[in-house]
Amino acid sequence: MSGFTVTQPGLLSLLHDRGRYGAHKLGLTTGGPLDFIAFDWANRLLGNHVNATCLEISFGGLQLQADIDTSLVITGATASCKLNGDNIQQWHTRDIKKGDELEIGFASAGTRVYLAVTGGFAITPSFGSSSTVLREKIGGLNGDKLQAGDYLPCTPAQLSKHCYLPLRERPVYGDQATLRVVSGYQQSAFNALQQWRFFNSEYQLTDRCDRMGFRLEGESVHSEVVGMLSEGICLGAIQIPADGQPIVLMNDRQTIGGYPKIGSVIVEDTPRLAQLSPGFHVNFEAISIEQAHNIHCLAHARFQRSTPLPC
**Which 3 state secondary structure label does DSSP give 77?**
strand
In a shared domain, residues 62 and 21: yes
Could you tell me what percent of the chain has a pLDDT over 90? 95
* Number of domains into which the chain is organized: 2
pLDDT surpasses 80 at 208: yes
Tell me if 55 is assigned to some domain: yes
Tens digit of each residue's pLDDT (9 = 90 or more) over 166-182 = 999 999 999 999 999 99
Q: Domain end: 116, 131, 164, which one?
A: 164
Distance separating alpha carbons of residues 174 and 215, to the nearest angstrom? 19
Instruction: Judge if 45 and 150 occupy the same domain.
Output: yes
The neighbour count for residue 220, using CB atoms within 10 Å, is 14
Cα separation, 245 vs 278, whole angstroms? 15
Q: Is 309 helix (H, G, I), strand (E, B) or coil?
A: strand
164 within 8 A of 308, measured Cβ to Cβ? yes
**Vertex 124 angle, CA 123 and 127, to 5°:** 125
Judge whether 169 lies within some domain. Answer: no
The neighbouring-strand residues paired with 296 are none
* pTM (two decimals): 0.97
Tell me, yes or no, whether 68 and 149 share the same domain.
Answer: yes
pLDDT of 11-67, one tens digit each? 999 999 999 999 999 999 999 999 999 999 999 999 999 999 999 999 999 999 999
Q: According to the model, what pLDDT value does residue 1 have?
A: 77
Which CA distances in Å does 283 have to 200, 204, 205, 218, 275?
8, 9, 11, 10, 15
Residues 230 and 92 in one domain: no
In this prediction, residue 230 carries a pLDDT of 84
Instruction: Identify whether 311 is part of a domain.
Output: no
Position 226 pLDDT exceeds 90: no
Domain that holds residue 52: 3-164
